[in-house]
Amino acid sequence: MSFKSRKFFYGDIPGDHPGGSHQPNDKEWPLWEVFIRSKQGLDHKHVGSLHAADAQMAVEHARDVYTRRQEGISIWVVESKYIHASNPDEADSFYEPSNDKIYRHPTFYDLPGEINHM
């Protein structure tokens, strides 16, 4: 058995079929992103990716691969082609509009001396 490793960016996954819409063979199984919620946390964190024929198979494989030590209490899987992201090369212009909102950066407040950790 051989595996090919390919890297995809920003949801550019080839293929028109969402996971579970047909029975693909193992060469065209879609890529799924896996998010796990740990027992200590409230948020899901991205832990990796895997290939699976449909969402149920992706959840089961994610359980087997990413929670072997029972560190998770919830698993989310999302087919990679449905994730859209901003371009890191355009971060300055993308986040620039928030720089003119001074109320988001309360640097102009005078803090009382009793407040040590803020």
pLDDT value at residue 61:
95
Give the model confidence (pLDDT) of 103-116 as tens digits.
666 676 777 878 77
Give the model confidence (pLDDT) of 16-33 as tens digits.
445 544 455 556 899 999
Give the model confidence (pLDDT) of 49-100 as tens digits.
999 999 999 999 999 999 988 888 999 999 999 999 889 998 888 877 766 7
CATH of 31-85, one of 3.10.20.520, 3.40.50.12160, 3.30.70.330, 3.40.190.10: 3.10.20.520
Q: DSSP of the chain, one letter per residue?
A: ---------TT----SPPTTSS---TTSPPEEEEEEEETT-SSEEEEEEEE-SSHHHHHHHHHHHH-TTS-EEEEEEEEGGG-----GGGHHHHHGGGGG-GGGS-TTPPPPTT----
Question: Per-domain residue ranges for the chain?
Answer: 31-85
